[in-house]
């Protein structure tokens, strides 16, 4: 079994996000970047399947500028085998990402795609579902447990009412949730080995898909600063405030 794991380079989750001076996007200059946390979980799960003898190869793919190779190397240090870098200096929307992944799946003869349920920069939560639709593969989203059996996969996912268990035949698409696993820390020897692993670079224009943006960002603003709270003496005063000052009743 060959597993494909897409990873995205995003602003580190510990960094306070700020809007740039043009109000066109968030500030990324001189800002710490790292792998999307949900993608770290996906890499960890793929590597665990390989270590358990359920998979032969874990292929890492990332779409973005040259900095994306740093994210691929991080996945190598965790246990990824080979990397594909689709070069695109502009933002790549989820549908274009899904089309690119479909092309790679067909070219590499992939049996399983494991990816984070969403990226923490845009929170779209669309790529996995779109990819499954384009491939006409079964999918399991928000996976909190993945088991391989003779028929394919048994995936436990969290839903509003509790847990749902799905049986999927391979090939399939799985998106990961936070409680699936705890990603490992890369050891120094593995970090050194990661520098020697192969990354194939391909310009997005060579993929042969329509990657033109379908969304236009008009303006980016920081949320309004919340005003401080206040205390009221009793219920009657609370009702008066809600009715006369706030106007919600």
Question: What percentage of the chain has pLDDT greater than the value 90?
Answer: 69
Question: What are the CA-CA distances from residue 95 to residues 16, 115, 120, 128, 218 (Å)?
Answer: 28, 15, 17, 10, 20
Fold for 2-222, please state it: Rossmann fold (3.40.50)
Average pLDDT across the chain, whole number: 92
Residues 100 and 222: beta-carbon distance below 8 Å: no
**Predicted TM-score of the model (pTM):** 0.85
Enumerate the domain spans of the chain. 2-222
Q: Which two tokens stand for residue 98?
A: 């899904």
Averaged pLDDT, 185-196? 90
pLDDT-derived band of residue 246, with 50, 70 and 90 as boundaries? confident
């Amino acid at each position: 079994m060959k597993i494909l794991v897409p990873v995205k380079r995003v602003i580190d989750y510990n960094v306070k996000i700020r809007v740039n001076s043009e109000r066109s996007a968030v500030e990324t200059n001189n800002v710490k970047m790292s792998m999307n946390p949900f993608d770290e979980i996906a890499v960890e799960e793929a590597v665990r399947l390989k270590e358990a003898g359920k998979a032969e190869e874990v292929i890492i793919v990332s779409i973005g500028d040259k900095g994306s190779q740093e994210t691929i190397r991080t996945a190598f240090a965790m246990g990824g085998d080979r990397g594909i870098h689709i070069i695109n200096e502009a933002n790549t929307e989820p549908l274009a990402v899904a089309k690119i992944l479909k092309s790679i799946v067909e070219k590499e003869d992939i049996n399983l795609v494991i990816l984070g349920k969403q990226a923490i920069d845009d929170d779209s939560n669309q790529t996995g579902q779109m990819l499954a639709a384009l491939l006409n593969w079964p999918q399991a989203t928000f996976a909190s447990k993945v088991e391989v059996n003779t028929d394919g996969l048994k995936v436990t996912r969290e839903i509003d009412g509790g847990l749902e268990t799905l049986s999927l035949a391979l090939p399939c698409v799985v998106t990961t949730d936070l409680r699936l696993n705890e990603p490992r820390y890369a050891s120094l020897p593995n970090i050194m080995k990661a520098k020697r692993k192969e990354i194939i670079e391909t310009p997005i224009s060579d993929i042969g898909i329509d990657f033109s943006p379908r969304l236009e960002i008009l303006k980016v603003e920081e949320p309004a600063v919340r005003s401080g709270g206040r205390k009221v003496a009793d219920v009657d005063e609370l009702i008066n405030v809600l009715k006369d000052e706030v106007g919600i009743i």
